[in-house]
Structures are given as structure tokens and as C-alpha cells.
A and B are shown apart, each in its own frame.
Chain A
């Protein structure tokens, strides 16, 4: 669960962000305590606290004295836009650079993306159907 690549507190912050983005942690909902994070991920509570505090500093979470930590309203939207910016920076820029190197024009790239997306979608459909069968 926890890897050696990056500081643990960053990984914890990222996990909480992911949970907020996919709705597992709703806005104004309570976030697990640092001790719960520590016990669950088997990490030092001080490290968990550091991760959570990172999000408090960003205004994603806020503290209610004596009760605990909650997700700020508007947190999800802010995270999504932050992640979009990052997506452009981390995925689109290298993609365009590589495409330019290979002589793929932005238009061709757009076509490729559309084709690829529909191919994965049709490939995914039978899988989800068979999963339903297994479940019933």
C-alpha cells in the first residue's frame, strides 16, 4: 500500500485527495483520525498527521476542535481542477512532445485518441457484462 518512492506523508495526503475526488469522502464528511490512518496503514501517527496537515494547509480539510477533521465544501472541485492542471502538465505535455517527435500532428493525435477510446470502451463492455453474469 505504502511505497518507498516518496515520503509517506505525501502518499497519505494523496490517498485522502483520491477519496475526496471519487466521492468516498463527501464534502463536510468526517475524515478518519490520524491514529486511524496510522493503524490502518501501519505508519507512524506523526507521519499521518503531517499528511493530513498538508491538506489542512491547502484548505482541503478543516479542523473542528475536539471533534476531528472534516472535508471543506468545494474541496472536490478544487482538487479536480488541480488534478486537471497536473494532467495537462504531466500527461499532455510529454504526449505532445513525443507526438511531435514522431511527426504526428495534433489533429492526427485527436483521431488516434478517439479511436483508442472507443476501442477500449468496446473491449470493456463484454467484461462488465460477464462480471454481471458472475454476480447473478
Chain B
């Protein structure tokens, strides 16, 4: 868990498109063999950041170090990376079988038997042209490549558009099981935070091109609480605390505060007739990125 085991280290990284700054002077590290969540709203800079880390795009300024070197045009680095994108393009007239036939040429850790199991589980039609696959089947092709490639550094950028709940659960389960047996670094970018929050060991939240949370997932759990009750009681209880969010209807208020509560404080809240509600990772991030839950989900 020291700097020496960092597979990615980024310093003062920025990416500008004309007057728009997509990634704004970002610093962070990614530890080896850890599952990271890269979370944030649409347009927050998640995809751009991953494009930069995989050498698909060029930084405006700052430095990127992946496996000890710059990833740009670097075969030694790139050969250890697999980047699965939601909007992946495929060659014209390609069928799923062509993808799975060519993938082992590029991913040296490719496990063909595992790929076949996954193809069966996700029910991917191998002989149908990629163009004619459903959105979910298309996502499944990407997910299978991402899992079976077993690249030491795997990026999944919103990999499951169109996958139903059952297929998504298969993805999570297979990812966990395979990660347990073949530890590697996984960076998962997603809107479906509640679904994946238990899989993540570390969370990076990006908002308007900046990393606003870089924290162990477990440390975030219980790091905020929503206090609900009469407005007067809530105001008294939350006085002097860091407020993440507050809303009120008539004489009732609901306020999300940062920091853990002691047993004494919990008892005090109960005495005052206040209700304490746990804050999920998704709610916490929604609060931190200053958007309502509704907006957040609508952007998914």
C-alpha cells in the first residue's frame, strides 16, 4: 500500500479542448491489484481521464506514469492495459467471433476457456454482424474482452449500457470471482454507484475535471449521516457540523452531515426524536457533487 506499488501516478494532469478544461490539474495514484471506482457525472471528465491514461489522447500539461513510463505510443505499457469503452467502434462487417479470435493476439494473459464460459453466460451470438447486435449484446462483447484479457490494468468505462439487471449481476460476480483468483488493477467508471459500491476498494470522484474524493470506499461508508426530524431539533443537532445537503418541508428538515457519530451522539439524537439515516455511497457522491439525485440519475 505504499507508493512503490502504484501502477498509475498522475501529476498536475490537465486536458483542454479549446476553451473547455475537461481534466483540470489532477493528481492521484492507483495502487496495484485494487478495484477502483471512477465516479462522477456525465461530462465530469471520466472518459477523457481514461483516454489519457491509456495513451488514446494526449495531455495538455502534466505527467502520466503507468507501469513506470508514459503510456503514449509505448507498447511495453499498453500491452498490459485493456480499455473497454461503452462506445467502442468495431471494424466494418465484424462479427463477435472475430473479436474473440483476435483478442488473444493482443492480450497475452487471455484465457480462452474463461472467454467461452462468459460467451455462453451472456448469450452472445458469435456469428451475427456486430452492427446487428442489441445494445446489451454489444456491451457483453466488451465485458467479456475486459474480463478474459486479464490485463494487469483494466479499464471499464460504463461497460454495461443495455445490459439487464441479471447480466449486470453476472458481470459483477464474475469480476469479483476472477479478481480473487487473478488479482489485477481494475478501474470501473460508472453511474450505477449503488450497484457497484460493495465491489470497490477505493473511490475516485471526479467533478468538473477535478478529483474531489480520493478515498477508501470503506472509509466513506458511514462518513456521512442524514438527520431528519423537526426543524428546530435538526438545527440544534447539526449546529457546527459540516453540512453536505439540507432540505425542509414545513416544520420538518432533513440534513446530511459529514463525519461519524459517536454512540453518545446517536443516543442524543434519539432523545431529541431525530431519525438517523445511513447515507449510501451514491447519495454521498450526489451530495458532494452538488446535484440532486434526480439530476444525477437523469444524466445516466
Contact = CB atoms under 8 A, between A and B. Distances in A.
Contact of B278 (A4, A34, A44, A50): A4
A8 B176 contact: no
Interface stretch (A20-28, A35-43, A70-78): A35-43
B278 A43 contact: no
A39 B219 contact: no
Contact of B267 (A6, A8, A45, A94): A94
Contacts of A7: 218-219, 221-222
A9 interface: yes
A90 interface: yes
B218 A8 contact: yes
A87 B172 CA distance: 38
A30 interface: no
Nearest to A11: B221
A47 interface: yes
Contact of A42 (B35, B173, B219): B173
B198 interface: yes
B201 A6 contact: no
A66 B176 CA distance: 22
B181 A44 contact: no
In terms of DSSP, what is the predominant structure of the interface of chain A? helix
Interface residues of A, number: 22
Given A4-B280, A90-B263, A42 B218 contact: no
Interface in B262-287: 263, 267, 278-281
B180 A35 contact: yes
A112 to B, nearest CB: 20
A133 interface: no
Interface string B215-236: 0011101100000000000000
Contacts of A9: 218
Nearest to B281: A4
Contacts of B278: 3-5
A2 interface: yes
B218 A45 contact: no
A46 interface: yes
Interface string B48-69: 0000000000000000000000
A41 B180 contact: no
Interface string B197-210: 11111000000000
B176 A4 contact: no
Contacts of A47: 198, 201, 217-218
Contact of A45 (B179, B219, B221, B281): B179
B133 to A, nearest CB: 28
Contact of B200 (A39, A41, A44): A44
Given A2-B198, A4-B278, A94-B267, A42 B176 contact: yes
Contacts of B9: none
Interface of A: 2-9, 34-35, 38-39, 41-47, 50, 90, 94
Given A38-B176, A38-B180, A43-B199, 20 more contacts: A3-B278, A4-B221, A4-B222, A4-B278, A4-B280, A5-B221, A5-B222, A7-B218, A8-B217, A35-B177, A35-B181, A39-B177, A41-B198, A42-B172, A42-B176, A42-B199, A43-B176, A44-B201, A46-B34, A47-B218
* 4 shortest interchain CB distances as A-B pairs: A7-B218, A35-B180, A5-B278, A4-B278
